[in-house]
Structure 1
């Protein structure tokens, strides 16, 4: 009988915890009310992210030592500047003013990239770290542009969809190039740097 009492006593605590864990977060006053709102908010977010990346890429390039990596970063800087312009075209196609909203995810990725630079010795180890940081950024952008393209398709924003898909393709190619640079020689040279 004591066993039964202790097992029933434990159940209410579990139920109380699950109720607390599933409590809904109230929405802010300016929260997105439909997919159009979410789409526009997401565009503002990636617009901020791309503009921040334009400022961050020169530092990455300056701290890289491998010439192929420097060239890849420089090329992507030019593409990123074009991505900013394309996002402005997206806003225009939607009849909206281009507006940036701080992207906490990109800020975190850029902060991590700066930490990697500070926590690695110049040379192949730092180059490997820069590639890792850059690929995290690329993966975030790939996920974001893929999601935005899906929203544009559902919302039947065909002009915006074309623009977003063009940028998505460039982000994927940049990620592939970074993987290639890491695989071909940088990661193995970083091992030997000891």
Structure 2
């Protein structure tokens, strides 16, 4: 399908982001099981809860705009990021080195999500979808916070243990 305007682009990006979040709801429990550090396990479990709320917000954002419906599209970018994380799990033993790798994999995902939500917020504002922008901005804030938490875990504890 050819994308003809910013509204159609917004709908496509919203749909791809929805796919990405659904994929993360399946990946995060695996990441939590693969992690050794208890704080990292808790971070992944907490992010799973947040991700479920983010999926609900994506629906709310779509519902706030007439004639917008989330479509069934696959986020190939998220699929690749998750596959990289799974390969890392398979190629490391449980412990600090795997934990450091899991943080790296999770931060790649967070940066992808920050870019996705940032773009969605800007498009929503440009298109005059004020309510959708507010909803999406809440998720953008959560994604940035998760990235900060992962950085702190890495710097304060996990990367040193892996060293």
Shorter-chain TM-score above 0.5: yes
Cα deviation code 1:99-142 (max 9, x no counterpart):
23101110100000101111111100110011000000000000
Structure-2 separation of matches of 1:84 and 1:99: 13
Q: Which of residues 88, 107, 114 is equivalent to 1:135?
A: 107
Shift of 1:55: 0.6
If asked which structure has higher relative contact order (CA below 8 Å, sep 6+), I would say 2
TM-score (normalizing by structure 1): 0.82
| Displaced runs of 4 or more, over 2 A | 95-100
Q: How does 1:6-155 map to 2 (within 5 A)?
A: 30-95=1-66, 96-155=68-127
TM-score (normalizing by structure 2): 0.97
Structure-2 separation of matches of 1:121 and 1:158: 47
Q: Look at both structures and tell me which one has the larger radius of gyration over its CA atoms.
A: 1
Asked if 2 retains the 8 angstrom alpha-carbon contact of 1:63 and 1:122, the reply is yes
Does residue 1:186 correspond to 2:162, yes or no? no
Unaligned runs of 5+ in 2: none
Unaligned runs of 5+ in 1: 1-29
Structure-2 separation of matches of 1:45 and 1:100: 8
Structure-1 separation of matches of 2:57 and 2:115: 17
Shift of 1:31: 1.4
Asked if 1 retains the 8 angstrom alpha-carbon contact of 2:78 and 2:109, the reply is yes
